[in-house]
Amino acid sequence: MDSEIFVRLLGDEGRDLLAVLADHAAADELAWATRLRKEHDAELVAAALTQARLRQRARVKFGADADRMFFTPNGVEQSTRAEVAAHRAARIAAAGVRRAADLCCGIGGDALALARAGISVVAVDLDRLTCAVAAANAEALGLGGLVEVRQGDVTEMELGGFDAAFLDPARRTARGRVFDPEAYSPPFSFVGTLAEKVPCGAVKVAPGIPHEVVPAGMEAEWVSYGGDVKEAVVWWGRLAGERLRATLLPSGAELTAAAERQAPDGPVGRYLYEPDGAVIRAHLVAEVAEEVGGVLVDPSIAYITGDALVGSAYATAYELTDVLPFNLKKLKALVRERGIGTLTVKKRGSAVEPEEVRKRVKPSGPASATVFLTRVAGQPAMLIGRPVRAAGQT
């Protein structure tokens, strides 16, 4: 879809087509296309069908707003989940920011969250169509008065007069994801330039960013939603807090530390604690181990064990029934003996794939269990148990 077709999609004819195609089934697309092309331009029909499909996909990230918004394929894939963007915008607003620059704004997801937090936003992107989509989204959600969209190179933008800046550099190329922060566009080192020009702000980075590349005096935050790590953000200026932070959404639980610590390891106890992914990425497992009074099952594995059941917002607890050396034949026999038909396979420090385990073990029966494929004191092991909650824990 080019900019000209997108402008037509915003017109009455385009919006009528989108209304007709709302909630259409993907299996019916050919029939819809054939029917609509009798009365409308084929190119416009194709654009409307694509947009309707993208809206359906975007509901996972944007909820009901997706049905009023506009998207590009890359925009749906790369945009921030609405709840995560709202968390970040609330933090920025709480710091007293009233005017912010959203650099590499994409389809405008973060700009919309900032505007909803009461912040005036100038959103900038290099791509013409992307800018048009971002502007259309601001208007569609009634936020056009707070969001100004500009097309341009963010590395050449005049940044005077902004209280804060948010940068979401491109982390994909035609070959796929980019893992080297200096291969981002613009490169991660550009944050140093931003920090010199804007008093505070944040840059979105891949969750796998090496801790050592985060500049001194800045904070690295890892954010998960529903247990899945969604992103990492590096904060500077008055927006930066402790060096390391893990934020768990939707609960909003936050764990922070000024520096990394290594938790002690020891023998496997009655319970196993699996820290949230954001906690693991932030290297804050030692803090959770201390909270639950536990130790690591292995110095290099982020599983915590202990004999007491302690409720934690940062980890899921399991009561263990078996601690065994790794042996799939033994696991198969145990699963068959106990009638385990629902077998959840988790792994950390093991090369064995969960699907391969299920294929070879062939679970069958009414019972359920979780098996952890990991290392205990350096040796391959299987830990089998079930999830439990401490008294009073929600």
Number of Cβ within 10 Å of residue 355's Cβ equals: 9
The pLDDT value recorded for residue 393 is 65
**Per-residue pLDDT averaged across 34-59, rounded?**
91
* Domain finish residue from 29, 49, 68: 68
pLDDT of residue 10: 94
- The answer to whether residues 327 and 347 belong to one domain is yes
Instruction: Tell me the average pLDDT across 181-186.
Output: 93
pLDDT average, residue stretch 15-19: 91
Please indicate, yes or no, whether residues 378 and 284 belong to a single structural domain of this protein. Answer: yes
User: Taking residues 246-255, what's their average pLDDT?
Assistant: 97
Whether residue 249 is found in the same domain as residue 275: no
pLDDT band at 142 (very low <50, low <70, confident <90, very high): very high
The yes-or-no verdict on residue 30 having pLDDT over 60 is yes
Q: What element of type H or E holds 235?
A: strand 228-236
Structure tokens belonging to residue 220: 């690295």
Residue 153 included in any domain: yes
Which residues form the domain of 288? Answer: 271-388
Once rounded to an integer, what is the mean pLDDT over residues 121-142?
97
As a whole number of angstroms, the distance between CA 375 and CA 379 comes to 5
Check: pTM over 0.75? Answer yes or no: yes
Shared-domain flag, residues 121 and 189: yes
Q: Cα-flanking dihedrals φ and ψ of residue 47, to 5°?
A: -65, -40
Once rounded to an integer, what is the mean pLDDT over residues 50-74?
Answer: 94
**Is pLDDT above 90 for 72?**
yes
Residue 84 has pLDDT above 70, yes or no: yes
Q: How many independent structural domains does the chain possess? A: 3
The type of residue at 349 is: G
Domain finish residue from 68, 98, 125:
68
Average pLDDT of 96-107? 97
Residue 394 lies in a domain: no
The Cα 131–Cα 45 span in angstroms is 22
Judged against a pLDDT cut of 70, whether residue 392 lies above it is answered with no
Which tens digits make up the pLDDT trace of 148-171? Answer: 999 999 999 999 999 999 999 998
pLDDT at residue number 390: 82
On whether both 157 and 295 belong to a single domain, the answer is no
Considering the domain architecture, whether residues 189 and 315 belong to the same structural domain is answered as: no
Residue 247 pLDDT greater than 90, yes or no: yes
- For residues 60 and 137, membership in a common domain is answered with no
Report the share of the chain in percent with pLDDT over 70.
98
Residue 165 maps to a domain: yes
Distance CA 286, CA 251 (A): 21
**Do 25 and 106 sit in the same domain of this protein?**
no
Domain shared by 194 and 240, yes or no: yes
Answer yes or no: is 85 within a domain: yes
| 342 and 215 assigned to the same domain | no
368-384 pLDDT tens trace:
999 999 999 999 999 99
Of 347, 267, 257, the C-alpha closest to 301 is 347
CATH number where 114 lies: 3.40.50.150
Q: What is the pLDDT of residues 269-316, one digit of tens each?
A: 999 999 999 999 999 999 999 999 999 999 999 999 999 999 999 999
Where a domain ends, among 68, 86, 121?
Answer: 68
- Whether the pLDDT of residue 23 is over 80: the answer is no
Dihedral angle computed from the Cα positions of residues 217, 250, 231 and 281, in that order, rounded to the nearest 10 degrees: 70
